[in-house]
């Protein structure tokens, strides 16, 4: 995964994205066909997983890392890290609006192969949250997102690694759940990283689902069919 293709370096050593870069990363690397990542959509959003991958390449991989997302990034927004030497790092724009915060602890590895393979495995898993994981969760809780405005917001993710001397791990999902509170839901996906049969770390992803309503199998199946059509048309 050559990340340099998916962002541009700005004059002050910051970075920004074009719609094409964000969209291609979502589809080619993450397998994510959320309309928010389409080049021609009105409300374009850079994939949060792209920010995560860039952060690992920039900051290295720590034993424990927590990533919290606080804003949707559009194309052309210039971003920078406040201080990469700190344990708590914020990614903000030129007006000091924060989009992502990173908490880290433990030792740090700057092994490029570790950062790249870890990001690759996670992004591949994360991009397939819909429909493979979220639809069964919604059916289980008898709720669904608004089919005309399917809003699923990436809230946070964390990793807790037991060691830093590995590369090319596999990722295995351990547990998924959806907590519903009125018209909002919080989906939590727990997973582990493995090398062979050895577990070398754990992780968790959380997403907020908005505009929930009673589950309708026919309607949600239509949403999935449309999603698959978009994916097949791109392929």
Helix (H) or strand (E) holding 137: helix 134-141
pLDDT at 17: 97
SS3 78: coil
Rounded to an integer, what distance in angstroms lies between the CA atom of residue 126 and that of residue 214?
25
Residues paired with 98 in a beta bridge: 92
pLDDT at 151: 78
Strand extents, DSSP E, 34-169: 61-69, 79-81, 88-93, 98-109, 143-144, 152-161
pLDDT at 50: 96
> Do residues 54 and 122 lie in contact, with contact meaning Cβ atoms separated by under 8 Å?
no
Secondary structure letter of residue 85 according to DSSP: T
Residues paired with 178 in a beta bridge: 187
Rounded to an integer, what distance in angstroms lies between the CA atom of residue 90 and that of residue 72?
15
Rounded to an integer, what distance in angstroms lies between the CA atom of residue 153 and that of residue 187?
10
Rounded to an integer, what distance in angstroms lies between the CA atom of residue 30 and that of residue 3?
13
Rounded to an integer, what distance in angstroms lies between the CA atom of residue 153 and that of residue 165?
33
Dmax of the chain from CA atoms? Answer: 51
Name the domain count of the chain: 1
Rounded to an integer, what distance in angstroms lies between the CA atom of residue 99 and that of residue 199?
31
pLDDT at 213: 96
Closest CA to 108 of 65, 66, 68, 69: 65
Quote the tokens at residue 157: 């993710």
pLDDT at 207: 95
SS3 164: coil
CATH of the domain at 70: 2.40.160
Rounded to an integer, what distance in angstroms lies between the CA atom of residue 100 and that of residue 20?
21
pLDDT at 150: 78
Q: Domain range spanning residue 180?
A: 3-234
Which alpha helices (DSSP H) does 166-234 contain, by range?
217-234
- Kindly list the averaged pLDDT for each block of 10 residues, start to end, along the chain of length 235: 92 92 95 90 92 95 97 93 91 94 97 96 92 95 91 92 96 97 97 98 96 96 92 87
């Amino acid at each position: 995964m050559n990340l340099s293709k998916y962002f541009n370096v700005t004059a002050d050593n910051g970075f920004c994205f074009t719609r094409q870069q964000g969209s291609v990363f979502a589809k080619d690397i993450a397998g994510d066909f959320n309309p928010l990542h389409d080049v021609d959509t009105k409300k374009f959003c850079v994939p949060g997983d792209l920010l995560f991958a860039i952060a690992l390449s920039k900051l290295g991989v720590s034993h424990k890392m927590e990533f919290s997302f606080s804003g949707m990034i559009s194309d052309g927004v210039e971003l920078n890290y406040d201080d990469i030497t700190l344990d708590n790092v914020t990614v903000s724009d030129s007006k000091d609006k924060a989009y992502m915060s990173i908490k880290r602890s433990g030792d740090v590895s700057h092994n490029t192969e570790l950062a790249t393979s870890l990001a690759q495995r996670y992004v591949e898993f994360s991009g397939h949250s819909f429909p493979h994981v979220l639809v069964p969760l919604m059916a289980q809780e008898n709720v669904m997102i608004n089919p005309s405005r399917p809003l699923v917001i990436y809230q946070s993710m964390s990793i807790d690694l037991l060691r830093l001397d590995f590369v090319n791990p596999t990722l295995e999902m351990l547990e998924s759940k959806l907590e519903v509170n009125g018209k909002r839901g919080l989906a939590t996906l727990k997973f582990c990283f493995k090398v062979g049969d050895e577990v070398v770390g754990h992780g968790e992803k959380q997403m907020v689902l908005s505009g929930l309503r009673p589950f309708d199998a026919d309607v949600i199946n239509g949403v999935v069919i449309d999603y698959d059509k978009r994916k097949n048309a791109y392929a």
